Amino acid sequence: MSAWRQTTSAPNLVMLNLNKSEAEALQQLLNGERLWSWPNGRIQLGQSFPDLAIINSLVRQGLLDEAHEPTEAGRKALQSWQSSIGLPSTTVIRAEDGARPRFP
Protein backbone atom coordinates (compact mmCIF):
# COMPACT_ATOMS: atom_id res chain seq x y z
CA MET A 1 0.00 0.00 0.00
CA SER A 2 2.09 2.85 -1.21
CA ALA A 3 1.44 6.16 -2.86
CA TRP A 4 3.65 8.41 -4.92
CA ARG A 5 4.07 12.16 -4.82
CA GLN A 6 6.47 14.55 -6.45
CA THR A 7 8.40 16.83 -4.16
CA THR A 8 8.49 20.54 -4.92
CA SER A 9 12.21 20.84 -4.25
CA ALA A 10 13.33 18.10 -6.62
CA PRO A 11 11.92 16.39 -9.68
CA ASN A 12 12.45 12.94 -8.10
CA LEU A 13 9.48 10.85 -7.07
CA VAL A 14 9.29 9.98 -3.40
CA MET A 15 7.39 6.93 -2.21
CA LEU A 16 4.91 7.42 0.60
CA ASN A 17 3.28 4.64 2.53
CA LEU A 18 -0.21 5.54 3.65
CA ASN A 19 -1.70 3.40 6.35
CA LYS A 20 -5.43 2.86 6.65
CA SER A 21 -5.87 5.54 9.35
CA GLU A 22 -4.05 8.14 7.26
CA ALA A 23 -6.08 7.23 4.18
CA GLU A 24 -9.35 7.45 6.11
CA ALA A 25 -8.46 10.88 7.53
CA LEU A 26 -7.47 12.14 4.08
CA GLN A 27 -10.70 10.83 2.57
CA GLN A 28 -12.77 12.58 5.25
CA LEU A 29 -10.98 15.87 4.58
CA LEU A 30 -11.44 15.46 0.82
CA ASN A 31 -15.14 14.80 1.40
CA GLY A 32 -15.46 18.19 3.09
CA GLU A 33 -15.13 17.26 6.75
CA ARG A 34 -13.31 19.78 8.93
CA LEU A 35 -11.01 19.46 11.90
CA TRP A 36 -12.38 20.91 15.11
CA SER A 37 -10.52 21.51 18.33
CA TRP A 38 -12.24 21.12 21.67
CA PRO A 39 -11.23 23.16 24.76
CA ASN A 40 -9.83 19.98 26.34
CA GLY A 41 -7.33 19.72 23.45
CA ARG A 42 -9.05 16.86 21.67
CA ILE A 43 -9.54 17.17 17.91
CA GLN A 44 -12.57 15.99 15.99
CA LEU A 45 -12.89 15.17 12.30
CA GLY A 46 -16.51 14.69 11.31
CA GLN A 47 -17.91 12.16 13.78
CA SER A 48 -14.50 10.66 14.63
CA PHE A 49 -11.58 11.63 16.82
CA PRO A 50 -8.39 11.00 14.84
CA ASP A 51 -5.01 10.64 16.46
CA LEU A 52 -3.23 14.00 16.30
CA ALA A 53 -0.08 12.15 15.23
CA ILE A 54 -1.88 11.06 12.04
CA ILE A 55 -2.86 14.62 11.15
CA ASN A 56 0.66 15.89 11.91
CA SER A 57 2.15 13.09 9.79
CA LEU A 58 -0.04 14.07 6.83
CA VAL A 59 1.13 17.69 7.17
CA ARG A 60 4.82 16.65 7.42
CA GLN A 61 4.46 14.47 4.32
CA GLY A 62 2.96 17.38 2.38
CA LEU A 63 -0.42 15.66 1.99
CA LEU A 64 -2.15 18.40 4.00
CA ASP A 65 -1.16 22.05 4.02
CA GLU A 66 -0.72 24.07 7.22
CA ALA A 67 -4.45 24.91 7.20
CA HIS A 68 -5.14 21.15 7.15
CA GLU A 69 -6.48 21.27 3.59
CA PRO A 70 -5.58 18.36 1.29
CA THR A 71 -2.87 19.15 -1.24
CA GLU A 72 -2.71 17.79 -4.78
CA ALA A 73 -0.07 15.35 -3.50
CA GLY A 74 -2.58 14.22 -0.86
CA ARG A 75 -5.24 13.62 -3.49
CA LYS A 76 -2.86 11.60 -5.62
CA ALA A 77 -1.58 9.61 -2.64
CA LEU A 78 -5.13 8.70 -1.66
CA GLN A 79 -6.00 7.68 -5.22
CA SER A 80 -2.92 5.49 -5.34
CA TRP A 81 -3.74 3.93 -1.96
CA GLN A 82 -7.32 3.24 -3.06
CA SER A 83 -6.19 1.55 -6.27
CA SER A 84 -3.57 -0.48 -4.37
CA ILE A 85 -6.32 -2.10 -2.29
CA GLY A 86 -8.73 -2.46 -5.20
CA LEU A 87 -11.08 0.44 -4.46
CA PRO A 88 -12.24 2.87 -7.15
CA SER A 89 -10.78 6.34 -6.74
CA THR A 90 -13.88 8.11 -8.02
CA THR A 91 -14.67 9.74 -4.68
CA VAL A 92 -11.52 11.88 -4.65
CA ILE A 93 -12.08 15.57 -5.27
CA ARG A 94 -9.53 16.99 -7.69
CA ALA A 95 -8.15 20.52 -7.49
CA GLU A 96 -9.73 21.37 -10.86
CA ASP A 97 -13.16 20.63 -9.35
CA GLY A 98 -12.88 23.97 -7.58
CA ALA A 99 -12.60 25.02 -3.98
CA ARG A 100 -14.97 23.74 -1.37
CA PRO A 101 -17.29 26.28 0.19
CA ARG A 102 -16.19 27.72 3.52
CA PHE A 103 -18.60 28.10 6.36
CA PRO A 104 -18.13 30.68 9.10
Instruction: Indicate whether 31 belongs to any domain.
Output: yes
Q: Buried b vs exposed e over 6-23: b needs ≥16 C-beta within 10 Å?
A: eeeeeeeeeebebeeebb
Instruction: Indicate whether 37 belongs to any domain.
Output: yes
In a 3-state reduction of DSSP, which class is residue 18?
coil
Instruction: Indicate whether 95 belongs to any domain.
Output: no
In a 3-state reduction of DSSP, which class is residue 1?
coil
Instruction: Indicate whether 77 belongs to any domain.
Output: yes
pLDDT at 64: 94
Q: Could you list the residue range(s) of the whole structural domain that residue 69 is in?
A: 3-89
Q: How many domains does the chain have?
A: 1
Instruction: Indicate whether 104 belongs to any domain.
Output: no
pLDDT at 91: 53
Tens-digit pLDDT profile for residues 51-101: 899 999 999 999 999 999 999 999 999 988 888 888 776 654 444 444 444
- DSSP per-residue letters across 30-96: HTT--EEE-TTS-EEETTB---HHHHHHHHHTTSB-TTSPBPHHHHHHHHHHHHHTT---TTPPPGG
Instruction: Indicate whether 14 belongs to any domain.
Output: yes
* Distance from C-alpha of 66 to C-alpha of 72, rounded to nearest angstrom: 14
* Distance from C-alpha of 85 to C-alpha of 32, rounded to nearest angstrom: 23
Instruction: Indicate whether 84 belongs to any domain.
Output: yes
Q: pLDDT confidence of 29, banded at 50, 70, 90?
A: very high
